[in-house]
Structure 1
Amino acid sequence: MTEFERVLVNSFNAYIEEKGIRAISYRLKQHRFTSQFLDVLVDSLDPDLYLGIECKSISVDKGANALYFSQHFTVDKKGIHQIERISDYLNRSGRRGFLAVELRLGTGREREAYMVPWEDLEKLYRTKNLKLTVEEIRSFPEIKRDGKDYMINPREWGRKNRWEKDSLNEAAENLGESND
């Protein structure tokens, strides 16, 4: 488990405890020859907290100017890209998905982290825009820091995922209405 993942899990659990919410954040143990679906999972009956989060970290101080889909994500033995595998898992599980990106800015400087809604990442991947620049990453909601921990506020990170939007559209169609 990376330091970023550990701090994110601990920050989620502190938020959950502070708010008195019935939920838990955890990281599944990764085994050498099996792939894990996501880095951080949050289980809750609250749909704002039923989450799947993939974590990536890039070193801006060492010259990284983008998160590349070919370099920072994996392709499995069957040739299936990590974004496709995670998208399938999120769609099947009904979890809200996010890519948490940590920008390491160098010695003596605070790290920054941002929450990219998975549907936005998937859209970029499907349109063959195969990178997310540091500038683009910074356009997404920041996970603000509180000392060494992160301040968790899932409602700031975008309310609806594709499943929720599709469900609302189906419900509206069943009533003979449009949800546009």
Structure 2
Amino acid sequence: MSDATTDSTIKQALRQGLSLLVIAWVLALGVNALRPGGIPLVADWSPAARLSAATGESMVIPLDEAVVLYDRREAVFVDARLPEEFAAGHIPGALNVPWILVDEYEEQFFTTVPDPETIVIVYCDGEACALSEDLARMLIDMGYVHVKVLADGWGQWTRHGYPVEKEDRHGS
């Protein structure tokens, strides 16, 4: 087989592959456009846009407001991260209710925070972390009225130099 034939075959395969990709892309866009509740191609995926309660009220609490509630001891902070991450550092006094293990921790939460009128601020780490969002929605569904999410809570808290608590080797 000559180099010219090989080049021609490769170019033909690339053209065919590109054609298939374009056809698939056009079909996908068409199905999405015709489908009820199609996925928006452009949207605001920021925590503020994602996190709204059924009432339309934002579930996001700004860091400065969370700090005021922390200083006044008017809110319960709940860390939705794994126990290992919690042990490595958390907001002092926060409860650990890891979303992934929520069934094991929810009774402890309800015992510690029995009043559904309590202000609860849920946090995890990172802008894209949805653990706090999922836990907050569960608490709202369980009847808690004042649940807020501190988006990128652990990251914001540590970047601004607020107090941090770590568990020692004895687990305290």
Is the TM-score greater than 0.5? no
TM-score (norm 2): 0.28
Structure of greater Rg = 2
Higher share of residues assigned strand: 1
Higher share of residues assigned helix: 2
TM-score (norm 1): 0.27
